[in-house]
Amino acid sequence: MARVLVLYYTRSKNTKKMADMIASGIQQAGVEAVVKDICETSAEKMLDYEGIVIGSPTYYGAPAYQVKQFLDESVVYHGRLAGKVGGAFASSANIAGGNETTILALINAFLVHGMIVTGLATGDHYGPVAINSPDTRCKQICTEYGAKLGNLVKTLYP
Amino acid sequence: MARVLVLYYTRSKNTKKMADMIASGIQQAGVEAVVKDICETSAEKMLDYEGIVIGSPTYYGAPAYQVKQFLDESVVYHGRLAGKVGGAFASSANIAGGNETTILALINAFLVHGMIVTGLATGDHYGPVAINSPDTRCKQICTEYGAKLGNLVKTLYP
Amino acid sequence: MARVLVLYYTRSKNTKKMADMIASGIQQAGVEAVVKDICETSAEKMLDYEGIVIGSPTYYGAPAYQVKQFLDESVVYHGRLAGKVGGAFASSANIAGGNETTILALINAFLVHGMIVTGLATGDHYGPVAINSPDTRCKQICTEYGAKLGNLVKTLYP
Amino acid sequence: MARVLVLYYTRSKNTKKMADMIASGIQQAGVEAVVKDICETSAEKMLDYEGIVIGSPTYYGAPAYQVKQFLDESVVYHGRLAGKVGGAFASSANIAGGNETTILALINAFLVHGMIVTGLATGDHYGPVAINSPDTRCKQICTEYGAKLGNLVKTLYP
């Protein structure tokens, strides 16, 4: 059965909260979701999952370096993630403070891996964003995004 | 049976040549591909296909305005393209003259539509790029990309 | 004396309101600012100004095609805008609905022209963003951004 | 007298070679350039320079995590780099393998710091790119870019 790994880096717990909300949406689609702190796992773990979702706070318009380190270390598995589903989310202190570029940096990394990504026709189109603590708006988008990712994983890995 | 629409805007014919190469790759995956000049079709046509690939020359780091006009006019079908597969390619006069940002602008538009995109683990990761006339390197990437898109469409729309 | 041209494309008037707010900030820096609807001017006009600011609503993660058409048509003056100051702003219906990518598409176009751009250390880092009608937060950022652009133009073109 | 700090991260020496080429262009503009391995300096050093240029290989469409770590650590000086000039360059194994997104990630970080950046009207518009070992084409662009950055620093910090 297909499974999704939801990784986050967090200091304020906002990104962790979003990870849990997205995992809940994935599970609503009938797909198992495992949430992990990206600093407490290794790139190798990604091999065990059909979907990989990564979230980060927005530091200088991009994911935290700890997230980038994880991605850089995934190079030893390059090619083996191709065809898996990727998803991204970000938390930020400002409305236009770099949250879209943070998400798109993660999506770019998934594309370099040959992975498959999906957008959202409503709301935060590239992936869910929280401005400070995730509110009701954010929760709804996280749940919807999780469900969308879960359904995509189910279709691709029945 | 699933079909893919390959749209291009071109002045020098370089982007048209790439469209044909990508269509050939799609067909190698056993999926029908229809190639059209984006100026001679309408956004409504996208409803009839399960995959949509768009290519443009690189003008000021983004697709030609004629391509953007086509995308802006697709807003009347917003939501109805969600779940379809999108692909993008670009031609350019310079190595780092804006070809990646042109492709990513198209990918962003697909994500806003709620569409599904895939990267390439080797070569031009976000989508095929030609520097001037498409050479052997470009042809190989276009074919590989087309096949990858064709297979993704087949899996999602069996 | 250095002057700044503030161009906007608008349907809802939100982007026009932002243009006026930014022009007000430029004038606070002691620099003349002229606000124009981008559809009622021509690319040639940019030659007469030392600073050019462009704002657009967010359509499919990028500026409206009318703005792109204006940029594409500026190619006949390519090279003659190098060294001028560029600025960008966007209005959007959603928090993470493509406003950053819209602004960055404009900044990319300025960079292709060889122009000079500046970020904001606080607030909307790449350029001002309004979510729907520009509020007090937006007004403050627009004014600050205008003043910053005005001062940069004054320093470069004393 | 204004000075520019040219930082690089490298494994293959390609990025270091580019750093030297850019420094040479800066010096041709009559501005002092100091080249340093980013791993052997600290973010605090940026306070001593009026221009900061950063180069990185392209890993997953973005700078190496060591470069991102340096940027993340610069947060303690946030606001104090505003108004300085930033420049970016990248080396890559592929033509469209993420070199533009690597440069733009660095430019985004400069904009978040409130810094000033410039594009190139010819060649690699966002900043110099080497495909593998920097060739004659790359050397010319690096020199031109360095000179352009040097002149901008001189104008802003006479």
D22 close to B (CB below 8 A): no
What values do phi and psi take at C2, rounded to 5? Answer: -65, 145
pLDDT in single tens digits along all 158 residues of chain B: 899 999 999 999 999 999 999 999 999 999 999 999 999 999 999 999 999 999 999 999 999 999 999 999 999 999 999 999 999 999 999 888 999 999 999 999 999 999 999 999 999 999 999 999 999 999 999 999 999 999 999 999 99
CB pair distance less than 8 Å for B75 and C65: no
What letter would DSSP give residue B55? E
Domain C3-153: CATH superfamily is Flavodoxin domain (3.40.50.360)
Residues of B in contact with A107 (CB under 8 A): 111
A75 close to D (CB below 8 A): yes
- Which residue of chain A comes nearest to B104, CA vs CA? A108
Task: Give the domain ranges of chain A.
Answer: 3-156
The strand pairing partners of A51, in sequence order, are A4, A85
Of B60, B111, B112, the CB nearest to C109: B60
Chain segment A32-41, per-residue pLDDT in tens: 999 999 999 9
CB pair distance less than 8 Å for A79 and B126: no
Chain segment D122-139, per-residue pLDDT in tens: 999 999 999 999 999 999
Q: Is the ipTM of this complex over 0.95?
A: yes
Nearest to B94 by CA among D150, C85, D61, D120: D120
The strand pairing partners of B100, in sequence order, are none
Of B59, B71, B98, the CB nearest to C72: B59
Tokens of B145: 């990309």
d(Cα C28, Cα C148) in Å, to the nearest integer? 10
What letter would DSSP give residue D96? T
- Which residue of chain A comes nearest to B111, CA vs CA? A119
Q: Among all chains, which residue has been given the structure tokens 């999780």?
A: A146
User: Do B5 and B34 contact (CB within 8 A), yes or no?
Assistant: yes
Pick the CATH number of B3-156 from 3.40.1160.10, 3.40.50.360, 3.40.50.720, 3.30.200.20: 3.40.50.360
CA dihedral D36, D42, D48, D52 (to 10 degrees): 60
Q: Among all chains, which residue has been given the structure tokens 């008037």?
A: C13
Q: Among all chains, which residue has been given the structure tokens 């989508």?
A: B127
Chain segment A3-32, per-residue pLDDT in tens: 999 999 999 999 999 999 999 999 999 999
Give exposure, D68-86, as e/b (b: 16+ Cβ within 10 Å): bbbbbebeeeeeebbbbbb
Give residues with Cβ within 8 angstroms of C102, minimum separation 6. C56, C57, C58, C61, C62, C63, C88, C90, C92
CB pair distance less than 8 Å for C113 and D119: yes
